[in-house]
Amino acid sequence: MIWFLLAFLLQFLGIVLPLLLCVAFLTLAERKILAAIQRRKGPNVVGFLGLLQPLADGAKLILKETILPSVANRWLFIVAPLLTFFLSLSSWVVVPLSSLSVVADVNLALFYIFAISSLGVYGIVISGWSSNSRYAFLGALRSAAQMISYEISIGIVLMCVILYAGSVSFVDIVQFQKHIWFIVPMLPMAVVFFASTLAETNRPPFDLPEAEAELVSGYNVEYSAAGFALFFIGEYANIILMSTLNAIIFLGGWLSPIPFLPDSALWLVLKVLLFLFLFVWVRAAFPRYRYDQLMRLGWKVFLPLSLGWLLFVAFLYVFIFF
């Protein structure tokens, strides 16, 4: 039993440590891409071509003084970023990098991911309430409403995928796409899913909880040093997770797009990088939505569209294929 737990822990660390490095250098890549789009240089001082900039930023956040507001609920104020951080890492246990490389290949992997991502709203709400700040509380309420609204569309799209593949295991879903990727028959749902993941991770143009013009910094406005770093890592780990889900569900995961080349985890990495670039490009290209536009898009466009597609797929399976 002890050896099993030790092996599981080593596998988990084998995912978490590279993930933290990916988060660090994703911030550098984002700043470089934004700089190129906006025709400026970006980070280029710390290290060769600015490659050590993420390490310098991390060291700065760790070494800064942690300030606890005198009017905050201290225990909840400390717990909130820890909760967000651990929830963002726990989802990776069931995410496969290939058919043979997964820590826990559970049959309900898709439901597990959806459940963990739904719990992420608690860390945000707790941080906003425990800060005892109007700006933080308004940002937390915005984030809670936004995440709950777009989780419905994500869930319905995932139900469509389950109907297509007949399984909720990531490995089975990828193997089902051996001949045709889901992005071909489900292109509208792929667009809805990608846009919903932008809203789920509070990314532009749906970054209303962190609107600088109205809420300073949103739910994490009172956090500094390690607390802010944990929120930051959790947010970018969720971005990588959502990009991985997009690649697995709609682009065939680790399956090779070229018939004579073998399937490999490298293909999954390249597809994830494509979606990460789209996350950054959307930030540079699109202005922020108003809050009423955000809610209208989720409830009056994405929800009816995804629900209609689910009923259409169910109709095909019940009356045509069976």
User: What is the per-residue pLDDT for 280?
Assistant: 93
Tokens 């609204």 belong to: 149
Q: Is residue 134 part of a domain?
A: yes
Q: What are phi and psi of 31, to 5 degrees?
A: -65, -35
Last residue of a domain, one of 63, 86, 117: 63
pLDDT tens profile 109-137:
888 888 888 888 888 888 888 888 888 88
Please work out, in degrees rounded to the nearest 5, the angle formed at the alpha carbon of residue 262 by the alpha carbons of 261 and 265.
120
Q: Is residue 4 part of a domain?
A: no
Last residue of a domain, one of 63, 90, 114: 63
Same domain membership, residue 226 and residue 302: yes
Q: In the chain, how many domains are there?
A: 2
**Type of residue numbered 270:** L
User: What is the per-residue pLDDT for 279?
Assistant: 93
Last residue of a domain, one of 41, 63, 85: 63
Same domain membership, residue 178 and residue 33: no
Same domain membership, residue 59 and residue 72: no
Q: Is residue 296 part of a domain?
A: yes
Q: Flag whether pLDDT at 293 surpasses 80.
A: yes
Same domain membership, residue 206 and residue 165: yes
Q: 225 or 101: which carries more pLDDT confidence?
A: 225
Q: Is residue 99 part of a domain?
A: yes
**Mean pLDDT computed over every residue of the chain:** 85
The answer to pTM > 0.85 is: yes
pLDDT tens profile 165-190:
888 888 888 888 888 899 988 999 99
Reference 19, options 301, 210, 244, 199; nearest CA is 244
Tokens 């939505």 belong to: 289
Same domain membership, residue 230 and residue 143: yes
How many whole angstroms separate alpha carbon 291 and alpha carbon 268?
Answer: 34
Q: Is residue 17 part of a domain?
A: no
Reference 83, options 129, 125, 139, 113; nearest CA is 125
Q: Are 202 and 143 in contact (CB under 8 A)?
A: yes
Same domain membership, residue 76 and residue 56: no
Q: Is residue 143 part of a domain?
A: yes
Same domain membership, residue 146 and residue 93: yes
Least confident of 178-192, 212-226, 258-272: 212-226
How many whole angstroms separate alpha carbon 149 and alpha carbon 195?
Answer: 12
Q: Is residue 150 part of a domain?
A: yes
Q: Flag whether pLDDT at 65 surpasses 70.
A: yes
C-alpha distances (whole Å) from 187 to each of 149, 196, 251 are 21, 14, 11
Same domain membership, residue 57 and residue 76: no
Domain range holding 225? 66-321
Q: Is residue 2 part of a domain?
A: no
Burial 31-57 (b: 16+ CB within 10 A, else e): bbbebeeeeeebbeeeeeebeebbeeb
193: CB partners within 8 A, 6+ apart = 153, 154, 157, 246, 249, 250
C-alpha distances (whole Å) from 185 to each of 101, 189, 250 are 28, 9, 10
User: What is the per-residue pLDDT for 59?
Assistant: 86
How many whole angstroms separate alpha carbon 201 and alpha carbon 26?
Answer: 15
How many whole angstroms separate alpha carbon 129 and alpha carbon 77?
Answer: 9
- 70-75: long-range contacts, CB 8 A cutoff, minimum separation 24: 71/132, 72/130, 72/131, 72/132, 72/222, 73/129, 73/130, 73/132, 74/130
How many whole angstroms separate alpha carbon 14 and alpha carbon 92?
Answer: 11
Same domain membership, residue 180 and residue 92: yes
Same domain membership, residue 137 and residue 41: no
Residue 8 banded pLDDT, cuts 50, 70, 90:
low
DSSP state letters, 112-166: HHHHHHHHHHHHHHHHHHHTT-HHHHHHHHHHHHHHHHHHHHHHHHHHHHHHHHS
Same domain membership, residue 80 and residue 56: no
Same domain membership, residue 26 and residue 163: no
